[in-house]
Structures are given as C-alpha cells and as structure tokens.
Structure 1
C-alpha cells in the first residue's frame, strides 16, 4: 500500500478535474439533460474527490 500516493502535481490535476466535472454535472442537472451525462460527470467528480480525500500526499 505504500506505493499509492499523490504528488502535488497529480493532486492539483485531480482537483481541477473534480472542479470541472462538478461544474459540468451541475450544468447538466440544471438543464435536465441526459441522465447518463449526469452520472458520468458525477462519478468522475466523486472519484477524484475520494482519491484526494483518502490517498496520502507525498511531498517533493
């Protein structure tokens, strides 16, 4: 399990992906778009945030 960690760059990329996916999820939800898009963007955002929350950050 010691091999699973995030570097600051990957954590930043994951955070940006989570923000963009969350924005897209909200946009699809507000316009009552296709349910598969809401599931897709929501799952990507959730996966990114769970990774940020539970994987340790390894410094430089």
Structure 2
C-alpha cells in the first residue's frame, strides 16, 4: 500500500500558498470581480487545506 507523507517544509509551502490564495479570493470577492476567479482561488484554497488536513507529516526518526 502506498502511503503519502509530507515533509514539514513541503507542508509549510502548501500552507503559505493556501493562505495567499485565500487572500486573493477575499480581494476579488470584495472588489466584486469575475466569478471564475472566485472559483479558481476558492477551490485551490479548499483543496490545499483539505490535503493538509488529511495527509500525515513525516516524523523525524
């Protein structure tokens, strides 16, 4: 069985990208920008955070 584990550095990069994407989502939403941008930023943010929530981190051994 294949198990996916994230290193702390990769998890941090994914988290930072999710935060930046969430910030862009909020900026487009407040400016009442195009709906397609809301979908792109929103789906990416949700997917990244769900991926982080359900993927275990590597532990130092």
TM-score under structure 2 length normalisation: 0.90
How far apart, CA to CA, are the structure 1 residues paired with 2:32 and 2:22? Answer: 15
Between Structure 1 and Structure 2, how many residues are aligned? 60
Q: Once superposed, which parts of structure 1, at least 4 consecutive aligned residues long, lie more than 6 Å away?
A: none
- Unaligned runs of at least 5 residues, structure 1: none
RMSD (Å), alpha carbons: 1.1
TM-score under structure 1 length normalisation: 0.91
Please tell me whether Structure 1 or Structure 2 has the larger radius of gyration of its CA atoms: 2
Aligned to 1:11: 11
- Unaligned runs of at least 5 residues, structure 2: none
